[in-house]
Amino acid sequence: MTNKAKHQRLEAVNELIKVIATCGRCFFSENGDKLNKVENPFISTMEIDSRGKVWFTDSYTRKRIYTHYQYDWKGFTHGGTLKRLVEFFRNHITRGVQIRSDYFDPNGSYIGEHPWDYGDDILIVKEAALRLGIAK
């Protein structure tokens, strides 16, 4: 697995994060669930350090969070469902593991109901995840 491939997957994940941040409830965005929207909101990003470890920058706290830590992430403000999604993203970046596309189904078929409450906008996220090669 080349460093170039990891960086291409990182770019794809950051593009998907932007899609998630700009539709539905605007998760991963400073605007997430706020009534007063910011014109150019800060959007979460992921990055790879020189050791190949993946970090996440939280859109609310703007803290850089080490995603390989298995316990609570200090400074992460998005809840358990999105923490798991960031872990999926980390695994995709580091090992090329793809997320099951039903993770983005409107009816939440993988768990019985959809925890995102994105309505039909979840289909925008799903299409982007498939197009970017993050989901299969």
Which positions of the chain have pLDDT values less than 70?
Answer: 1-2, 34-35, 108-115
Compute CA distances 42 → 8, 10, 18, 61, 82, whole Å: 22, 18, 10, 10, 17
Q: What is the pLDDT of residue 109?
A: 57
- The structure's pTM equals 0.91
The whole-number pLDDT of residue 81 equals 86
